Amino acid sequence: MAFTAFTLFTCAYLGLGVDRVFESDSYAVSMLWIVLMIVITLVCGILGGLTCAAISKSKKTCLVFVGIVFVLSLVFAIPNIMKDHTPAVRAGDVPNLQAMQLAQTPAWLCVVNPILGADGVLLGARMKKLPPV
């Protein structure tokens, strides 16, 4: 899931360019980027759920994986929620890694993303026929 998300986000950033990823002259992410984040999170969650179900062939294992995805996503979101969201001025093109560090994602999205990821895993796991728990 992490590799797929990293790849999709990198391709999206490079494809859109800095001016469509961020609001003009700031590190606040654009509405287009927010929508892409939601879609990519759901797609990666679904792929993770399908993969977990195919490997484990167990609903219980998939439910444990849902919990793991939710908790880890929330843990990684906490620093982003806690950081200063004061608008910072952006000048010119920004390399991908610097953009990831300086991007100002809305706090509500940092809370919603773990839920979306866990829901995506649950949806993906339910797409695969598994024996009952």
Q: φ and ψ at 128, to 5 degrees?
A: -95, 130
Domain assignment present for residue 9? The answer is: yes
Question: How many angstroms separate the Cα of 51 from the Cα of each of 19, 22, 37, 64, 97?
Answer: 35, 33, 21, 14, 28
Q: pLDDT by residue for the chain (133 residues), tens digit each?
A: 999 999 999 899 889 988 898 888 888 899 999 999 999 999 999 999 999 999 998 889 999 999 999 999 999 999 888 887 777 787 777 777 787 788 888 889 999 999 999 999 999 999 987 666 6
- pLDDT by residue (tens digit) across 65-85? 999 999 999 999 998 888 877
Domain assignment present for residue 80? The answer is: yes
Crossing angle of helices 31-56/107-127, nearest 10°? 30
Domain assignment present for residue 132? The answer is: no
Domain assignment present for residue 133? The answer is: no
8-state DSSP, 24: T
What's the number of CA atoms in the CB half-sphere (13 Å) around residue 128?
Answer: 21
Which is nearest to 2 in space by CA: 115, 105, 121? 121
Domain assignment present for residue 40? The answer is: yes
| Residue pair 16/32 in contact by the 8 Å Cβ criterion | yes
Q: What is the number of structural domains in the chain?
A: 1
89 has which bridge partners? 26
Residue 87 belongs to domain spanning = 2-127
The pLDDT assigned to 79 comes to 87
